[in-house]
Every structure is written in C-alpha cells, then in structure tokens.
Amino acid sequence: MRQASALYRLLGDEARLRLLRLLARERLNVTELTGILGLAQSGVSRHLGLLKDAGLVVEEKDSGFTYYCLSADLRGG
C-alpha cells in the first residue's frame, strides 16, 4: 500500500507526467527537455532523478551526453 501511495504522489505532478509523455516518444537529454518544457535545468534534473529512482526512466550515455527514456518495462519490451 505504501509503495502504491508513493507512486501516486510521484505521478501526481504535472511536470513529471509531461516528462514521461515526452520520453515515451523519444530519448532526450536534459537540455532538450528544458527547452521543450520551459522549466529550469535543476527542476528537470530533480524530476528525472525521482522518476529514475522509481524505475520509470533509464539513462543512456552516448557521445558525451546523457539521454533519458522510458524504462523497458513501461515501453512493453
């Protein structure tokens, strides 16, 4: 019950839901997400950290950049 409650609180934030919708379509880095969402870099990073800790988002390093995408479990694969 506690785990479900924590997940609902996590998903109760509009910015995190917007992040998940974007990351469901493509992998993006913090700079790209900041530009799309119009949020401060620190806020985007904080939200990504929470989503990553919950296992909803994974990070991938590529050519010196860190990209984020939905976890394989959420993508259905």
β-strand partners of 29:
67
Sequence-distant (6+) residues with CB within 8 A of 37 are 15, 18, 19, 22, 44
Query: Per the confidence metrics, is the pTM higher than 0.85?
Result: yes
Q: Residues 54-67: pLDDT tens digits?
A: 999 999 999 999 99
Cα–Cα distance list, 20 to 1, 23, 76 (Å) = 23, 5, 14
Q: What are phi and psi of 40, to 5 degrees?
A: -65, 150
Measured in degrees and rounded to the nearest 5, phi and psi for residue 28 equal -140, 155
pLDDT of 75 above 90: no
